[in-house]
Amino acid sequence: MDFEKLGKFGTLFKIIGMLLVARKIAGGIIGIYKAFLRRRKDLVQRYGKNTWALVTGASDGIGQEFCRQLAKIGFNIILVARTQKKLEETAEELKKINPNISTKVVPADLSKSNEQGWAENIYEQVKDLDVSILINNAGVDVFERFELIDPEYLKKMININCTALYLLNHKFVPQMAKRVKKSAVINVSSGVVKVPLAYYSTYNGTKALVDYFTLSLGDEFKNIDFMSMQPYDVSTAMMNNRPPDVMTITRQECVKGFLDCLGYERQSVGHWKHRIQDWLYSLLPRWLINLVFFNFLMEDFFKERIPLVQNWRLKGATAVNAVAQDTKKTE
Ligand SMILES: NC(=O)c1ccc[n+]([C@@H]2O[C@H](COP(=O)([O-])OP(=O)(O)OC[C@H]3O[C@@H](n4cnc5c(N)ncnc54)[C@H](OP(=O)(O)O)[C@@H]3O)[C@@H](O)[C@H]2O)c1
């Protein structure tokens, strides 16, 4: 394009173009600094010795790994999830990792968080403990045509991903804000918020809510390090334990990446592999990401998740049918 012919507008377009390119390059350089050069804050010093971290979804996946890494550096751990046995086994493991810490198991079903007194029940069990870190991690997803998802499952998902998280923030944040030392709240959102995909609308919506909620709340409570945590793919049961690869990281890498960012970033994708992914996505238009996903990746993604989908579904067609229907439509 001949910018000279556009006169002053041509110069303006050139400047805007250069600024946009410079911004993306600067973003990449800052990302390298954050991922490889910046030193982690001393979390025990920052949030207090012998204090407690409350973690939801503590019995598996990313939540369990948060418990391990925080126990290792000296935090006492309150473990919340549904299955008492899994929680107790994890608590025992934590005591082996660090015999000097204490643990408390609090079984709770987050899908019932809409019931009267749900958050109070958890709070009552731990109110005498000095909770300095709150990690709202438990979450569930569904990859499915929207109209095929059972409405009861939709309600449960919103309760687990949103209602429980709001209520635990509401219960714990005011007292955490009054602590002499700083406190931290990690609300687990997801990288998918940046790349909204068809068939993932409900999950995306819940995670976008978590993200906006956390960003805003952080400005209300300056004494708390809020983080909206936005990982891309992590090898856990949620991803059918897909082996780590160029895009999928281990749960250890994931948690380390986010603890490294705590106290620095209000919104983060954490590990360097996910930073690269995030940067690349930021260069591409959403239609192109969707096009690549639906033409090259979706079939494998569905296949990988069919065992999970079959567990979720209470009636109606499976995700495979959804793909088949769509294929027919485009034929
Ligand atoms: N894995 C990923 O690629 C990925 C990417 C982005 C974001 N995330 C987010 O990261 C978080 C953790 O995911 P994950 O992959 O670690 O999941 P996961 O391996 O499936 O673990 C889920 C944890 O949540 C608990 N849980 C599930 N339903 C519950 C309920 N109704 N009440 C109480 N606890 C419940 C589970 O324990 P019980 O079954 O014993 O209750 C388990 O401890 C989620 O919020 C997810 O959305 C994950």
Indicate the domain borders of the chain: 30-284
Is the CB–ligand 1 distance for residue 268 below 6 Å? Answer: no
Q: Which atom of ligand 1 is nearest to the CA of 159?
A: 31
Closest Cα to atom 45 of ligand 1: 139
CA distances from 248 to 73, 202, 244 (A): 26, 22, 5
Cα of 238 to ligand 1 centre, how many Å? 7
Q: Report pLDDT for 13.
A: 79
Give the three-state DSSP class for 144.
Answer: coil
Q: Partners of 80 in the beta sheet?
A: 56, 106
Q: Mutual orientation of helices 84-97 and 61-73 as an angle, nearest 10°?
A: 30
H or E element at residue 15 = helix 8-32
Calpha distance 200→146 (Å, rounded):
8
Cα of 2 to ligand 1 centre, how many Å? 54
Cα of 163 to ligand 1 centre, how many Å? 15
Q: Report pLDDT for 1.
A: 63
Calpha distance 10→4 (Å, rounded):
6
Chain mean pLDDT for the chain: 89
In the CATH scheme, what is the homologous superfamily, with its name and number, of domain 30-284? NAD(P)-binding Rossmann-like Domain (3.40.50.720)
Nearest to 134 by CA among 175, 187, 174: 187
Calpha distance 224→181 (Å, rounded):
9
Is the CB–ligand 1 distance for residue 140 below 6 Å? Answer: yes
Q: What is the pLDDT of residues 211-260, one digit of tens each?
A: 999 999 999 999 999 999 999 999 999 888 989 999 999 999 999 999 99
Highest mean predicted confidence (pLDDT) among 12-26, 75-89, 131-145, 277-291 = 75-89
Q: What is the pLDDT of residues 137-179, one digit of tens each?
A: 999 998 888 888 888 999 999 999 999 999 999 999 999 999 9
Query: Which tokens hold the place of 119?
Result: 């958050």
Is the CB–ligand 1 distance for residue 61 below 6 Å? Answer: yes
Cα of 172 to ligand 1 centre, how many Å? 21
Question: Is the CB of residue 72 less than 8 Å from the CB of residue 98?
Answer: yes
CA distances from 85 to 54, 58, 81, 82, 99 (A): 18, 12, 10, 9, 20
